[in-house]
Structure 1
Amino acid sequence: MPLCNDSSRNLAVAVALFFAGVLYFSFSTHSISDHISDLLHNTNTPQQVKTIEFPQDELEAVLESAAAGNNNTVIIALVNRAYVEEVGEGRTMLDLFLESFWEGEGTLPLLDHLVLVATDHTAYDRCRFKRLHCYKMDIKGVDLEGEKVYMSADFIEMMWRRTHFLLDVLSRGYHILFTDTDVLWLRTPFSRLSNNGSLDMQISVDQNNVEAGHAINTGFFHVRSNNKTFSLFNKWYDMRLNSPGMKEQDVLQKLLDTGFFNQLGLNVNFLNTTEFSGFCQDSTDMGVVTTVHANCCRHIPAKIFDLTLVLSDWKSYKTSHVINKWSPHHKCGGSWKDNDYVPKP
């Protein structure tokens, strides 16, 4: 009889323990599930709130992604179909531009901050194919696909459209390092640009000749987003209406020469051609040169030919560290006399 009681008692204890375990497991599982749900909710909440409070258009999304980790600064370049189509020996201006980032010193990571602004679907598709930050500019009513030869009506229109786009980017609070795609990046310019936070704008020039005035070049410049620079770009763009036949660079030069920069209290640094070089005035020191711009050149085939030589010169320098002279820019020099040149439509 005692044996029977002990067995019954043991059985009852076992059953009680079993149900207690089931209840504990059920409660624990529910608690863990709730905890994970809370974590997921907390993780997703900031993104949802941000989306509601700060609705993004396509441009804002591209700019935010490109500026990440770069002090809210984006590198911007403009491309159209003419810059992504093969010329001569199967090279494109865009390919040459991007190759310089691969061959430059400390430049490859900067591709993460580059935004290619396409004026047509062909250029946009090529940008997407290369997995870059891409944005398709709205250019309703204007054909900006083919090559726009220097100072043609279409060239001037494209430059003004570019100015308006940059004004939009500044108004969103992003600092801009703008570069033409006929600029080769041989070293990271951020280490060469002044870190002085009071500088509103740093802009390239065609020649180092302070006495003759700064002949600015809008193919490469850094501009901080603030009230002064926004006022400058707004005035600059508005002046297109009273400047028929003038390209945007000449209008900006006029604003500089007539003292408008001073009226705004702009602090400007003019980049010397020793570090920020171009075909108008070659850098004499490959040991410090940062960018090379195919300025003083009329059309794309000449630019591609002579910039290819520049890249070859740079590769030789990287191998030998012997400073030599740059190859002559014969094609660009002769482009001004090439009256028979007809750009592809």
Structure 2
Amino acid sequence: MKTVPRSLLLLGVLTALTLFVFTYLSKKADHLQPQGSSKENISSGTNDRLTKMTNKTNHVLSAAMRISEGGQKALLVTLVNDAFLPFAFSWLCNTQGMGIHNQVLFITGDKESAKKINEKWPSVTAVQLDGVHSGNQEYSHVGYVEMMVRRSEVLLEILEQNIPIFLFEVDCLWIKNPLENLRSYSDVDIVVNAVSERSKIIAGGFLYMHPNEASKQMWRALTEQLTDLGEKIKNSPDTQLISESDNDQVYLSQLLFSKYGGLKYKILSTQDYADGKWYKLSKEKREQLKPYLINNNWVIGNAAKIMRAKEWGHWFLKNSGECDQERVQKVVRQGLL
């Protein structure tokens, strides 16, 4: 019988020992790996995107911290693009006497829009953010949905800084300042607005969030869903229609009504916070209501919204670009709608 050379025997032993050590260390590494950090984790792509985004939103976060005094005051925040500038200026005229402009942060899609707001209304703050589409963007179309994705992402960044957020939209008539009323619901995590004729849907563009863990968990989940949706539609034209089952309002409503992460919420009545259906009510019914504000929705297109606002005397911007003080006096001071 042939004898195995000692050199080959030693090589075999070393190979076996090496494989044993490699296998042991691999299993040990798997055991020590933080939970949820595997490649299969569905949040990894979203987290990577948000991490990259933070580097581009530092100026937004700095402005939010300054305006809110480090989270001591609520931040009134809205996202606008160039097509929405007339609404922004009309709203600023509408609310100029309500004492809230120094708490307002406009996030714009272009530097020129931010410059115009800051020059005309120095008491508010406007900052530009990349990734916001310009021009008219219709509800439930790709361009609009991508703007909502961007809005959700930046709001999450602000919320993570422990800043109370009052999200609003400028295509809205403010009859009286709602801030104190919204803040009074201190026993809930989020205050939201009902939508007429849709019991399982809440408004996506009007809410007040306390920066606690429940609201953060919910908004992280919303942002993840929207980011995933954004990835699916990123190569589609802005004008392509998206199913109404896929948008920020639907996702937010589902998370809210499921009480995601133990979320506690308050739903505001459309009697106090009216939407576009107010314009269809009878005169008698309208006179019975004394809402804080009226959202100019349930109509499609910026031109149609402006036309309706002007017809009802709810537009406060003159053709000259100056505020229509007479209308402000009538609606805000006298409550004549």
Question: Shorter-chain TM-score category?
Answer: 0.5 to 0.7
Change (3 A) 1:318 1:75: closer
- 1:288 to 1:230, Cα distance in 2 relative to 1, 3 A: same
Residue 199 of structure 2 is aligned with which of 190, 204, 213?
Answer: 213
Q: Does 1:95 align with 2:81?
A: no
For residues 93 and 202 of structure 2, the distance between their equivalents in structure 1, rounded to whole angstroms, comes to 26
Q: Contact 2:193–2:206 (CA<8 Å) still a contact in 1? A: yes
The residue correspondences of 1:283-302 to structure 2 (distance < 5 A) are 284-285=286-287, 288-302=290-304
For residues 306 and 113 of structure 2, the distance between their equivalents in structure 1, rounded to whole angstroms, comes to 17
1:65 deviation in Å? 2.7
Which amino acid letter does the alignment assign opposite residue 273 of structure 2?
A: F
Counterpart secondary structure, 1:76: strand
The change in CA–CA distance for 1:286 and 1:76 in structure 2 (over 3 A counts) is farther
The residue that corresponds to 2:59 in the other structure is 58
Q: Which residue of 2 aligns with 1:29?
A: none
Superposition deviation, residue 287 in structure 1: 6.5
Deviation of 1:270 after TM superposition, in Å, equals: 0.6
1:311 aligns with 2:314: yes
Give the AA of the match of 2:175: L
Contact 1:204–1:220 at 8 Å: present in 2 too? yes
- Whether 2:233 is the aligned partner of 1:250: answer no
Query: For residue 198 of structure 1, what is the aligned residue in structure 2?
Result: 187
Residues 300 and 150 of structure 1: CA distance in aligned 2, closer, same or farther (over 3 Å)? same
Instruction: Within 5 Å, give how 1:144-223 maps onto structure 2.
Output: 144-193=133-182, 195-207=184-196, 213-223=199-209
Identity across aligned pairs (percent)? Answer: 17
Instruction: In structure 1, give the amino acid aligned to 2:89.
Output: D
Q: Which residue of 1 aligns with 2:264?
A: 267
Q: 1:201 to 1:318 in 2, by over 3 A?
A: closer
Structure 2 counterparts to residues 24-173 of structure 1, below 5 A: 57-68=58-69, 71-84=72-85, 92-102=86-96, 107=98, 109-130=99-120, 131=122, 132-139=124-131, 144-173=133-162
Structure 2: stretches of 5+ with no match in the other structure: 1-56, 233-241, 280-284, 316-326
For residues 256-313 of structure 1, the C-alpha deviation after alignment (integer angstroms, 9 at most, x for no partner) is: 34x2x2x411111111112211113458357732111111111111111222324278
Distance 1:224 1:320, change over 3 A: closer
Give the structure 2 partner of residue 239 of structure 1.
225
Structure 2 distance, partners of 1:151, 1:230, is: 25
Q: Return the alpha-carbon distance in structure 1 between the equivalents of residues 83 and 276 of structure 2.
A: 21
Shift of 1:151: 1.5
Q: Is the 8 A contact 2:222 2:251 kept in 1?
A: yes
Whichever residue aligns with residue 311 of structure 1, its letter is H
Query: What is the CA–CA distance in structure 2 between the aligned matches of 1:174 and 1:305, rounded to whole Å?
Result: 36
- Partner amino acid for 1:307? A
Q: Is the 8 A contact 2:201 2:250 kept in 1?
A: no
Q: Secondary structure at the match of 1:198?
A: coil
Q: 1:272 to 1:129 in 2, by over 3 A?
A: same
1:248 positional shift: 1.0
SS at match of 2:182: coil
Tell me how far 1:238 sits from its aligned partner. Answer: 1.0
Change (3 A) 1:184 1:68: farther
309-318 or 271-280, which deviates more: 309-318
Separation (CA, whole Å) in 1 of partners of 2:70 and 2:222: 30
Report the RMSD for the aligned CA atoms in angstroms.
2.7
Which has the higher Rg, Structure 1 or Structure 2? 1
> TM-score if structure 1 supplies the norm length?
0.65
Which is further off, 284-293 or 113-122? Answer: 284-293
